[in-house]
Amino acid sequence: MIPSSRHSLLERKVDRNADSISIITEFSTNSDGCHLIQLTKLYWERLEQAIEEVVNGVSLLLTYETIFSGQEHGKILDLMEKGNRVDSSKLLLNLVMEKGSRARRVMWESFEKMRHGVPKLDKILKEIQERGANSCDDLTSKKGLFTMPSQLSDVQRKHKETLRVQTETLRVNTILIKEKVKIFQLVDRYAELTIISTIRDRTLVEHELLARGRDHEEWREKHLRRELEKIRPDQLFQSSFSQRKSKSGNSAAVSGVPGIGKTTMVQKIVYDWATGKIYPHFQFVFSFKFRDLNSINCRINLRNLILFFYPYFGNVLGELWKNPEGLLFIFDGLDEFNDRIDFADNRRNIEPQSTCTDPECWCEVSDIVYSLIQHKLLPGCSVLVTSRPTALHLLEKAEISVWAEILGFVGDERKEYFNKFFEDQTVAEAVFKHVEENEILYTMCYNPSYCWILGLSLGPFFTQRGRKQQQVPKTITQLYSYYVYNILKNHGREIENLHDVLLKLGEMAFTGVSKKKIVFRNGDLIKYNLQPSQFLSGFLMELLERDDSVQSVVYTFPHLTIQEFVAALGQFLTPDPGDIGKLLSEAHSEEDGRFEIFLRFVAGLSSPQAAWPLEKFLGQFLHQTTCRVIDWVKEKVEGQIGNTESESGKRKLLNTFHYLFESQNKTLAQKTVGSVETLTFSQMRLTPIDCAVLSHTIGLCATIKELNLSNCCIQCEGLQRLRSTLHKCQELRLGNNDLGDSGVKLLSAALRNPDCKIQKLELYENNLTDLCIKDLASALTTNQSLIILILDYNELGDEGVKLLSTALRNPNCKIQKLDLWGVGLTDSCIEDLVSALSTNQSLKVMYLGSNFFTDQSVPALCHLLKTCRTLEEMWLRQNSFSPNEKEQLESLQDFRPGLSVFV
């Protein structure tokens, strides 16, 4: 039985709307409940995704109804706690199917109760409700098997073999490598993409473009988990995803921004069908590219269209028409089609000649495509159309059953791409690590085309013999310069005056940054005298504007940081820089952060390493502009140092350090930060790239004494970026940063550095355990500088302190103050601790409060306080001592003058 408190909590979480129509009641009372079996099987994979967020609640309800045992519920919870949400969903569904009809009924009833807080679940139930309780048979019915004549079997074998040969290899432009084109096996090169079973509206896309770094990844995963349903390419014609009831066939539309992988996905679908991996119910698949169809400028019929691309079908096509359910037509790249297909065009309903109803009927290619999608030609066949968002409005009135969008790479799929991009896995690992360490760049890698450009840009730095590691692009500006360099090299020949086009694009981008505008219309392009082109699509991607009553195209940069980089580049292409210092100062003074990345790019483009790839195509940057930018950076750094009392001051100082880092101007950095003594960024969330910038700054500080990064959420990943310079600081405050045991191992290496100057080290509240103490203790026996060590509120336990005692016993240990407040100590460690401190010659202050010592430890503590002559303060408050024992400990102050005991 579930405790009443947990049951009431569950009741608060579920929706008990009395007005809700119980479709499940209809299903469960029908017949013997077999409809619920069909329903569960039909929606199985979608349910796995939908209940990930509420699997605990569903399992609780099933346990409360005595369908699940406590042990079964425990197994589901255990998987959830380990982060295996998909596995927990699968386990729940499998258990329910084993339990019988009552279990299925209770599960579906729980879905109804929870639906309003779970978007994916609500979507499924709405679809079921729309179809009605009697539609399950219609959904799950299988099409009758068609016996294929022998002559068709021969042609099918020939067709599959032809398609296999056509699609088994992937041709890739290499640009930077000697071969202009390299050919790979598709299966070796293809990386799975995340596809969602809906098309996001523009607002959702805008939110994604505004997210950066890990926030971008978290944003994507959150929406993917909560709202967006994943769909595999082999599920595009699965009836559970179908949004339209159609007995005459299914049409699916897949959307995606340029470079996201639509054409490669189509190639993989065709290859997998040809090799028998997917779509066994389709006897023939015909794939067409709209760009190829553009070459057909005369009337044609479907028979001749197929024979034009697949001439070996000869005279057998008539047999194919007899079983249209076995046919799949794929049309790739609707946005590239020169002829317009408008499904909202009423002309087709009144002019029969514009509608093609017979495969032998002569008409325009557009009419054939229209008629196939609308099931007027070969009713029962299936059609797949891919398109950029630009052309989606053309399909708005079409008979589309499934709408999907390619999101690109999520999570580890980026890494998989680089592993397949490079034959040498050492190079793949090095390039991916370099990209991963630059968070803004890592964000861009959701798009395979950006991964491709980065692979081309960075690959040579890790593969060419004799090229030194330090020449690899270090800064975000340098990496973006190579990104733009590759666009210019690949598509620059299409534009007569690259300099002018980039200047105009930069001006438009800067206006957008200034006004927090990331969506541009045709009017904006006209204002800056820009024309849509293949070249421009390297910088701008098209989106469909859905808010207006009249459909129109809008443009956005693939990512906000690309807009900011182009805006910065525009400053260096301006013939007359004017008072650029004033412009930059005004941007720096903005409190909302809109210019942060823009200013980093401006500072970075003053660096020769970042400028020279672009100057090859755009001409040399104006020396006057570069000098003024350097002067401005110097002025801002000098003016901001010391102004870190407010959060705004800290943020601005950190930004000036980013400017220094991006400029890679060592002389400038030494002049501005060389004599800094204190750096304080406490209470600010720092990313790993922030930590790398700080490390670069500290490395140039000759007089650094204190580094305060307490409560900055840097974790071990951030500490790794700092490790090379930590030993320079005298006071290192790293409390509450979730460093973990691995973080302390990094710090131990800094303490072992022969040049280590660390005197005070704060590590409170860092999720440390006894596992890290061995490394720390070892470092303390060789370190000659550390005198204050703060370890309070970590889970060190008795084992940790026993290991620490070995260091305290060593005569080389210089610790004078040791804080072990609230680290989980008990009486069992007191003998080790007292034994170590009895021989220690340096310890003066010790904090042992808020542990679990009892009266049993008092004799040993009394002995310590009497014999350890160096000890001046002992804090023992918030332990479990009796009043008499407390009094005994405090009385020792009288025994030893100069000793303070706080119990």
- Cα–Cα distance measured from residue 391 to residue 551, given in angstroms and rounded to the nearest whole number: 10
Residue 307 pLDDT exceeds 50: yes
Highest average pLDDT, of 64-73, 446-455, 682-691, 735-744, comes from 735-744
- Cα–Cα distance measured from residue 106 to residue 96, given in angstroms and rounded to the nearest whole number: 9
For 318-357, the three-class secondary structure string (H helix, E strand, C coil) is HHHHCCHHHEEEEEECHHHCCCCCCCCCCHHHHCHHHCCC
316-343: per-residue pLDDT in tens?
Answer: 999 999 999 999 999 998 877 878 887 7
Interval 596-602 mean pLDDT? 90
What pLDDT shows up at residue 550?
Answer: 43
777 confidence band (pLDDT: 50, 70, 90): very high
| b/e sequence 95-106, b meaning 16+ C-beta within 10 Å | bbeebeeebbbb
- Classify 203 as helix, strand or coil: helix
546 confidence band (pLDDT: 50, 70, 90): very low
Residue 849 pLDDT exceeds 60: yes
What pLDDT shows up at residue 551?
Answer: 47
* Token pair in block for residue 271: 């290859």
- Cα–Cα distance measured from residue 270 to residue 264, given in angstroms and rounded to the nearest whole number: 10
Element (H, E) at 250: none
- Separation of CA 98 from chain center: 37
What pLDDT shows up at residue 219?
Answer: 62
For 791-802, the three-class secondary structure string (H helix, E strand, C coil) is CCCCECHHHHHH
165-169, 269-273, 339-343: which has the minimum mean pLDDT? 339-343
Residue 768 pLDDT exceeds 70: yes
What pLDDT shows up at residue 549?
Answer: 37
- Separation of CA 212 from chain center: 9
Contact present, 677 and 707 (Cβ < 8 Å): no
Residue 866 pLDDT exceeds 50: yes
185-241: per-residue pLDDT in tens?
Answer: 888 878 788 788 777 766 666 555 555 555 556 666 666 666 778 888 888 887 666
177 confidence band (pLDDT: 50, 70, 90): very low
Residue 435, CA distances (Å) to 207, 444, 472, 473, 568 in order: 23, 10, 11, 10, 22
- Torsion-angle region of residue 381: left (phi > 0), alpha (psi -120 to 50) or beta? beta
Contact present, 682 and 710 (Cβ < 8 Å): yes
- Classify 118 as helix, strand or coil: coil
What pLDDT shows up at residue 13?
Answer: 36
What pLDDT shows up at residue 207?
Answer: 54
pTM > 0.75: no
What pLDDT shows up at residue 138?
Answer: 46
Highest average pLDDT, of 182-186, 259-263, 405-409, 668-672, comes from 668-672
> Got the DSSP string for 760-795?
EEE--SS--BGGGHHHHHHHHTT-SS--EEE--SSB
Interval 286-298 mean pLDDT? 88
Interval 105-117 mean pLDDT? 84
What pLDDT shows up at residue 16?
Answer: 37
42 confidence band (pLDDT: 50, 70, 90): confident
812-822: per-residue pLDDT in tens?
Answer: 899 999 999 99
Residue 492 pLDDT exceeds 90: no
Share of the chain above pLDDT 70, in %: 84
Element (H, E) at 491: helix 476-491
Beta-carbon contacts of residue 4 (< 8 Å; ≥ 6 apart) = none
Residue 515 pLDDT exceeds 70: yes
For 1-37, the three-class secondary structure string (H helix, E strand, C coil) is CCCHHHHHHHHHHCCCCCCCCCHHHHHHHCCCCHHHH
Residue 267 pLDDT exceeds 80: yes
Residue 859 pLDDT exceeds 90: yes
165-179, 360-374, 702-716, 786-800: which has the minimum mean pLDDT? 165-179
Residue 145 pLDDT exceeds 70: no
Contact present, 283 and 148 (Cβ < 8 Å): yes
Could you give the angle at which helices 858-867 and 883-895 cross, rounded to 10 degrees? 10
Residue 882 pLDDT exceeds 80: yes
Interval 631-640 mean pLDDT? 90
- Cα–Cα distance measured from residue 350 to residue 347, given in angstroms and rounded to the nearest whole number: 5
